[in-house]
Amino acid sequence: MIRVLMTVACLLVLSALFTWAPHSHAQTARATIRQELSGEARSAWDAAVELYEAGDYDGALVQFKRAHELSGQPQILFDVGLCLKNLARYVQAIAAWEQELSFRQRLQRTDIQALETAISTLRPFVSTLEVTAEPAGAVVTVDGVEVGRAPLVAPVAINVGQRIVRVTKAPDFLPTERTIEVVKGRPASLDVRLEPAVKTAPVSVLTTGAEGVTLFLDGRELGPAPFQGAVPIGAHTFGARAAGYKEALKSVQVTAGVPLRLTLSLARVQTEGRLRVLAEPADARITIDGREGTGSWEGLLGAGGHQLVVTRPGYDEYRTDVSLSAGQDRSLEVQLKKSQSWVWWTVSLVAVVGGGAIATSYLLRPTDTPAVTGTLPPGITSF
């Protein structure tokens, strides 16, 4: 209650102070200013004076600013400041009057005195506000007027009384609004930390098994491994990719405020298959893509086609194309067949040898002799 009474008393004093010098100065100066205006600037000026006398300070402020913009007359800023003062926007009123004072060489002495009196009268009703806000770039407004962006390099001037401070950074953060009491002669301060619009949790991702790994979140590239940062809560799939390696994927649930640590392991892309060859006879020579073995062969071969050759003297050559896919494990058994030319040669040799023996036997057989007539019955004997 005491504070309210003090505020009312201050406003009454302020109002009384402005019933003399500034207002009377404005009244006497307006006639002179109007004479120096023409066209649209004079029309805006006349409308501003009419609205001001009717108590419409918002409307008058717009028209006074328009007249100043069109004419460049610094004296119009005095009336701009009066409108702002009557709207209890003391910081902006002082700023308008200080802007007019920057044109001292174009002002009369009475103008300068009136401005200095007005500024000194309002100064006690202006304090300062120091705002610490995060994240960087957040917009800070006081009573709807932007005063800067975080981080503010210095305290900002602020009217005494109840003030509404709003800090925003759309669309990634939720806006924050605070109502503060600014007391005459006492600086104010405010510390604001904006909450993310989407709740997150800290996540770190490491990888093993490969170099030059690129990480992905739900298919969107995060950058090179390792990763450490905030990830929106909910179900997500982390991926790791590297040339020559299979993509590693892991689906997880990210919980608000709960740190998560992941390790993704990458394995080389399988580009080979395993082949086993077992030959019969056991001493047969096995050749595949120039690599040799005897009786059996086992090893890794690139995915695709390969030529297998199995040989042994006296046997038909075995030749075939073998196809392997990546990661395939394949076994082959090869049974060589005896060469037909060898069999024919053996049979022929036997035939020749057998024929010679028969011929020899025939040649060496005794010659048949004629029958001899004997005396014993039946009278004929054969030898």
Give the relative orientation of helices 109-122 and 76-86 as an angle to the nearest 10 degrees.
Answer: 20
Q: pLDDT value at position 363?
A: 43
Task: With a cut of 90, say whether residue 196 has pLDDT above it.
Answer: no
Q: pLDDT value at position 303?
A: 84
Is the pTM value of this prediction over 0.85?
no
Rounded to the nearest integer, the mean pLDDT of the chain is 84
Written as six digits, the tokens of 24 are: 């009377």
Tally helices (H) and strands (E) across the chain.
Answer: 8, 23
Q: pLDDT value at position 186?
A: 92
Task: With a cut of 60, say whether residue 331 has pLDDT above it.
Answer: yes
Task: With a cut of 90, say whether residue 18 has pLDDT above it.
Answer: no
Q: pLDDT value at position 185?
A: 86
Q: For residue 142, what are the CA distances in angstroms to 152, 161, 185? A: 13, 12, 18
Alpha carbons 141 and 147: distance in angstroms, whole number: 5
Alpha carbons 45 and 29: distance in angstroms, whole number: 13
Least confident of 10-19, 66-75, 205-214, 234-243: 10-19
Q: pLDDT value at position 346?
A: 52
Beta partners for 254?
234
In this prediction, residue 172 has a pLDDT band, given cuts at 50, 70 and 90, of confident
Least confident of 113-122, 254-263, 308-317, 339-348: 339-348
* Stronger pLDDT, 336 or 363, i.e. the higher one: 336
In this prediction, residue 270 has a pLDDT band, given cuts at 50, 70 and 90, of confident
Q: pLDDT value at position 209?
A: 92
Q: Provide the pairing of β-strand 285-288 with 304-311.
A: antiparallel
In this prediction, residue 324 has a pLDDT band, given cuts at 50, 70 and 90, of confident
